[in-house]
Amino acid sequence: MAAASEVVAVKPVGADDEVTICAVESGNDMTAFRVLNEEWITKFFAMEAKDREVLNDPEGKILAKGGRVFMAWVEGVEVGCVALIPMGDGVYELSKMAVRPLAQGKGIGRRLLLHCIAEGRAMGAKSLFLGSSTKLKNAVHLYESVGFRHVPQAELPKMDYARADVFMDLKL
């Protein structure tokens, strides 16, 4: 696996490259999770207080609450990530999904998303929800393609992201 200092140096991912997805265990380095998310957030938006809160303490804000962080790897390098954050009563927020630009368009986001849905089911989740943005057309299309449906924001738990203007859920 790549060391934290290697996180930013990656070659383009080929369509035939083997992708491995695994949960990040408590106590493991979460630098890549933070870096991958900061990369896409600062490209399209600005870091918000909630981003800093979660990305600076994923162990406390996700794992300690019974959530999961999943990383996608190609040739030992982190190329994508996603988190499931428990909100209570079997409801989980699908959050902090990112795929490194050089790895986009290779199906990694879809694999991460499908893995997250399967893990959510295995964890006993009743539903997953997310907030996204109309600026992220490819991401919204991906969520729609696996069964997420658009819902009014009021139907979901509170999300503290100013950039969110698309709200979706998936019943499991």
Per-residue pLDDT, averaged over 91-105, amounts to: 95
State the CATH architecture for 17-171. 3-Layer(aba) Sandwich (3.40)
Q: Where are the domains of the chain?
A: 17-171
pLDDT of 18 reads 87
pLDDT of 10 higher than 60: no
pLDDT of 17 reads 73
> In the chain, which ranges are E strands?
19-23, 68-74, 77-88, 91-99, 127-132, 149-150, 166-171
Q: What is the pTM of this model?
A: 0.89
- Dist. CA 152–CA 144, nearest whole Å: 15
